[in-house]
Chains A and B, each alone.
Chain A
């Protein structure tokens, strides 16, 4: 085990946790990292522990204390983990309810075991390679451009929130007609529509994730070829999947054509404020997707 001793963490009241996590998510607070335990691993794929074993040995959402630790998780904390740790967290989550409404987004690229970005580890040294990796730049561009997602649960649709259209201007037809909403007092333009459904995780098959699928984006209301095609089947073939860390806070994985590219988080303060308390105490949340037979088996045993 690399980390342990969750029992030594000082129990915090749910209200304090809520306040702390809201502050942390807004980037204004300072709080110790959650004490989340991980199983050992090394660099090679074969050294990675089986997710079923990780969950069996180190369940993440089973008890009040574990959920208190999850309540301390922040995007910044996740972005500081290497990818294997992010994966071990993701695999121990369930999909939770299919979200509804606007969510703030953050993204981060996978980090390898050396502490460098994983893609940079792979191609470092290819000095003459035309596509030399610029992940950090992409991360910054992505963060500026993409501010989150708006879920339309009743229609099982989603649109992405863009706050700065200028960067996309050359790719957008008729910018003035791009639909707009206001989130937290700021304008967000809605682009890149996608379908929502419960489906297969490309990382962990043991239970479903909420899938955000752009393959047939051109069939969705409000689709505009430029720039929405970029996410669709003729574009970069984007497919996201998310699982719930705690109510109102989701961890996501973005794929291009089945290839994992980056992690992201989604946060809705209103949902978190309303539901965190009860969730920490009871662990109850609605599950719209199949939770898997391992989860059902452990629930039955409990």
Chain B
């Protein structure tokens, strides 16, 4: 490890030379400090000024979401993040195995050789990273100058109606902070930090969160065993942490993976293809006890996937993978879509309503007007929900990771505790983009530079990473003069899969797969899937990007039922009218109106490096990190028998292995499962511990806790986690009350719902439940659980098996299946 750090610092000197030579290296403040030279800037090589700026935003800009990850999520949403558990420097070497997060090569453990920080007291227990000399001086003060203020701007977009003079929002509002030690997670000094209080909380120490994140009691019978001071909003930790795009998207380069995933170098980093190992769901709930509803329902996404509609909840449990971004320039566009959105203009009509046209005060001709027009747009997200332009898709992601959350977002979200249909936050309301632009400077800071981000996404950083090239690089490590040609590659594949396998696989792909997984026009048989549109850029996106009804694909459908882009919901303004007008999928029992019910055909570019498969990473072997700290081992057994019970003898999970061979082996095993659907062992994610919900006061007599009023509800381990997350408790409770106070209205509600046919039966059942609960409130869960058919009617998604569907190719002879796998390894 020491050698690696030394080599890291060695790159500093190389970087300095480049700076001196007037290279493209940016002179941001964290690139020029004595020890703080950032190897990050080596990534700039080969990019133009706009791409370089976009890349830096992608890697570093949080747009102010540190407040979300410090205050909003904890206090308003009620979910706690234990940042120390994730980022403490002492567990840096175990971080990838536990959380799947990628260590920043520029950071170091205090006290390690060459590290500017000598002790964890200096860094409050965290890694030391470039720029921290200035940042650490500002902890507890309001004098921090964010490195983003020194951001080297890229150019504005050619032809931008707001162009001419530079009218961009201050770059300071991009808010970079410094690295947390993990790529994509950034830290900021907390001006409210009180060192004396912090010491008091943590037993006199500043280098730990031992008193802040420790349960108040070690006695499991005491409810304080499920409480820590992370809940105490009066305690201000030394840092606020924020999140950049890179937190989810930065990954190991399939061409050049690190020898040791805990100690990557910059040349091992690929910023855009998506981290297949990240456990962001666990990160976001890391301060919650394992017996909490929040942990059990949300913190179970497979590595590399997360439920991005968990915070803006639609009450559909639907983890999805980070979308892999490769060759975006070849991604299909869709013409003549009805798009109602804000558009840049140079002036507004006099006395225009600011809800329809608005000019930024203090700027010249920097205006936006809202109108519906026919546009050519991409379809982004699993079902194509983001469909009003790439710029707003980027902005939506920033909002979804907490930027402008206070000014523009949380007032529109569903509060799961709000049970009164008359009160705000009973359900979602649409985020207002115009209001957000007006009221949140961070929104404008990103918007004014989104052309740079898009340019970065079109840069060579997103070019394909073929298995042949990866193998060639491996060969060259031992012999720089060696080569590994396409012919060598085909030969090796045919040794493995049989003579002629690749060409036979190409035929099969054209006949069976290219209908969805190719962007070329014309007969599939004649398509050249390897052709380049320009040097280094594959012409075929290997997907037509068309959204197809979920019943046609047959995969786990909860994600397709995602409802946040529907009219009246949180992302209403980010989806096109054309999206909202898509026909429902009548072949699934849940409601699919309003645009939902679809999955896009995903690109198979470099599929060899993307396993496991499907939108939830459920198809293929389960993968796990096996961290040394077993408390951070989040792997959950999911293989079940025909009755849905967990197998006692679970197949072993595959340890994270980002090496070329590791990815390839995982690809092959996943393909075998994909093409042999009858042989898949079903997977269902279960609640792994009893969930304890305590309602009402309990008196502590010094030895024992006594319940005075209320009740304690326990959801047993083994319950399907998805079913719990999908239960529409608000509708259920509203209907339960209506069944006693207004049957007529309940009948009207039910007749207008997907449960219309069962309306009378539901009314009778609800009335019976209400009578029993009135008699004995503590029996609520038991009373409800006795009626699984009723629970199913109040579920937003009834799908259970997470790895079913996409049975295409299952009927092929075994030799053809192997041929198809061989061909897919080449694309």
Q: Determine whether the beta carbon of A215 is less than 8 Å from that of B232.
A: yes
**14 A-B residue pairings within 8 Å (CB atoms):** A45-B426, A46-B568, A195-B232, A205-B72, A206-B406, A206-B411, A206-B439, A211-B75, A213-B234, A225-B701, A229-B699, A234-B223, A236-B697, A293-B440
Contact with A along B205-226 (1 / 0, CB 8 A): 0000000000000000001100
Minimum distance in angstroms from A237 CB to a CB of chain B:
9
Kindly list the 3 A-B residue pairs having the minimum CB-CB distance in the complex, ordered from nearest. A125-B741, A200-B75, A294-B439
Cα distance A178–B355 in the bound complex, in angstroms: 56
Interface centre among A51, A156, A196, A215 (most CB of B within 10 A): A215
Q: Is B705 an interface residue (CB 8 A)?
A: yes
Q: Determine whether the beta carbon of B700 is less than 8 Å from that of A234.
A: yes
10 new A-B contacts, CB < 8 A, other than A205-B405, A216-B229, A226-B699, are: A45-B421, A50-B429, A52-B411, A112-B422, A118-B420, A195-B233, A206-B406, A257-B695, A258-B78, A293-B440
Contact with A along B330-369 (1 / 0, CB 8 A): 0000000000000000000000001000000110000000
Cα distance A225–B708 in the bound complex, in angstroms: 14
Contact with A along B394-417 (1 / 0, CB 8 A): 000000000011111111100101
Cα distance A230–B699 in the bound complex, in angstroms: 8
Interface residues of A in 23-52 (CB under 8 A from B): 43-46, 48, 50-52
Q: Which residues of A contact B (CB under 8 A)?
A: 43-46, 48, 50-53, 56, 83, 87, 112-113, 118, 122-126, 128-130, 156, 195-197, 199-207, 211, 213, 215-216, 225-226, 229-230, 233-236, 257-260, 290, 292-294, 297, 300-301
Q: Is B427 an interface residue (CB 8 A)?
A: yes
Contact among A205, A236, A297 for B76, CB-based, below 8 A: A205
Residues of B within 8 A of A233 (CB): 223-224, 227, 231
Interface centre among B424, B441, B568, B699 (most CB of A within 10 A): B424
Minimum distance in angstroms from A258 CB to a CB of chain B:
5
Residues of B within 8 A of A293 (CB): 404, 406-407, 439-442
Contact with A along B761-794 (1 / 0, CB 8 A): 0000000000100100100000000000000000
Minimum distance in angstroms from A45 CB to a CB of chain B:
4
Q: Determine whether the beta carbon of A205 is less than 8 Å from that of B411.
A: yes
Q: Of all chain A residues, which has the CB nearest B702? A: A225
Minimum distance in angstroms from B479 CB to a CB of chain A:
58
Please judge, given known A-B contacts A87-B424, A205-B76, whether A53 and B234 are in contact too, CB under 8 Å.
no
Q: Is B71 an interface residue (CB 8 A)?
A: yes
Residues of A within 8 A of B426 (CB): 45
Contact among B72, B76, B421, B435 for A50, CB-based, below 8 A: B435
Minimum distance in angstroms from A256 CB to a CB of chain B:
10
Q: Of all chain B residues, which has the CB nearest A302? A: B361
Interface centre among B233, B408, B777 (most CB of A within 10 A): B233
Cα distance A226–B741 in the bound complex, in angstroms: 38
Please judge, given known A-B contacts A126-B774, A156-B234, A297-B439, whether A206 and B407 are in contact too, CB under 8 Å.
yes
Minimum distance in angstroms from A269 CB to a CB of chain B:
28
Cα distance A207–B427 in the bound complex, in angstroms: 21
Interface SS of chain B: mixed
Q: Determine whether the beta carbon of B737 is less than 8 Å from that of A200.
A: no
Cα distance A130–B776 in the bound complex, in angstroms: 9
Cα distance A257–B695 in the bound complex, in angstroms: 9
Contact with A along B433-447 (1 / 0, CB 8 A): 001001111100000
Residues of B within 8 A of A204 (CB): 411
Residues of B within 8 A of A46 (CB): 427, 429, 568
Residues of A within 8 A of B697 (CB): 229-230, 234-236
Q: Of all chain B residues, which has the CB nearest A202? A: B76
Q: Is B85 an interface residue (CB 8 A)?
A: no
Q: Is B740 an interface residue (CB 8 A)?
A: yes
Minimum distance in angstroms from A135 CB to a CB of chain B:
14
Cα distance A226–B777 in the bound complex, in angstroms: 26
Residues of A within 8 A of B740 (CB): 125-126
Cα distance A215–B229 in the bound complex, in angstroms: 10
Number of B residues, CB within 8 Å of A: 61
Cα distance A292–B410 in the bound complex, in angstroms: 13
Q: Is B478 an interface residue (CB 8 A)?
A: no
Contact with A along B231-264 (1 / 0, CB 8 A): 1111000000000000000000000000000000
Minimum distance in angstroms from A216 CB to a CB of chain B:
5
Q: Determine whether the beta carbon of B72 is less than 8 Å from that of A200.
A: yes
Q: Of all chain A residues, which has the CB nearest B417? A: A258
Residues of A within 8 A of B406 (CB): 200, 205-207, 292-293
Q: Determine whether the beta carbon of B700 is less than 8 Å from that of A122.
A: no
Q: Of all chain A residues, which has the CB nearest B408? A: A52
Q: Is B698 an interface residue (CB 8 A)?
A: yes
Residues of A within 8 A of B223 (CB): 233-234
Contact with A along B697-732 (1 / 0, CB 8 A): 111110001000000000000000000000000000
Q: Is B423 an interface residue (CB 8 A)?
A: yes
Residues of B within 8 A of A128 (CB): 771, 774
Cα distance A123–B428 in the bound complex, in angstroms: 24
Minimum distance in angstroms from B547 CB to a CB of chain A:
27
Cα distance A205–B229 in the bound complex, in angstroms: 22
Q: Of all chain A residues, which has the CB nearest B192? A: A198
Q: Is B425 an interface residue (CB 8 A)?
A: yes
Please judge, given known A-B contacts A45-B421, A204-B411, A234-B698, whether A199 and B75 are in contact too, CB under 8 Å.
yes
Q: Determine whether the beta carbon of B435 is less than 8 Å from that of A52.
A: yes
Residues of A within 8 A of B405 (CB): 205
Q: Determine whether the beta carbon of A43 is less than 8 Å from that of B439.
A: no
Q: Determine whether the beta carbon of B76 is less than 8 Å from that of A200.
A: yes
Q: Is B742 an interface residue (CB 8 A)?
A: yes
Q: Determine whether the beta carbon of A118 is less than 8 Å from that of B407.
A: no
Cα distance A161–B809 in the bound complex, in angstroms: 74
Q: Of all chain A residues, which has the CB nearest B423? A: A45
Please judge, given known A-B contacts A50-B435, A112-B422, whether A122 and B737 are in contact too, CB under 8 Å.
yes
Cα distance A196–B232 in the bound complex, in angstroms: 11
Q: Of all chain A residues, which has the CB nearest B78? A: A258
Residues of B within 8 A of A196 (CB): 234
Q: Determine whether the beta carbon of B700 is less than 8 Å from that of A215.
A: no
Interface residues of B in 52-107 (CB under 8 A from A): 67, 71-72, 75-76, 78
Q: Is B432 an interface residue (CB 8 A)?
A: yes
Q: Of all chain B residues, which has the CB nearest A201? A: B76
Q: Determine whether the beta carbon of B737 is less than 8 Å from that of A126.
A: yes
Residues of B within 8 A of A215 (CB): 231-232
Cα distance A29–B255 in the bound complex, in angstroms: 80
Contact among B234, B407, B412 for A197, CB-based, below 8 A: B234
Contact among A53, A195, A197, A259 for B435, CB-based, below 8 A: A53
Q: Determine whether the beta carbon of B700 is less than 8 Å from that of A45.
A: no
Q: Determine whether the beta carbon of B233 is less than 8 Å from that of A197.
A: yes
Q: Determine whether the beta carbon of B411 is less than 8 Å from that of A51.
A: yes
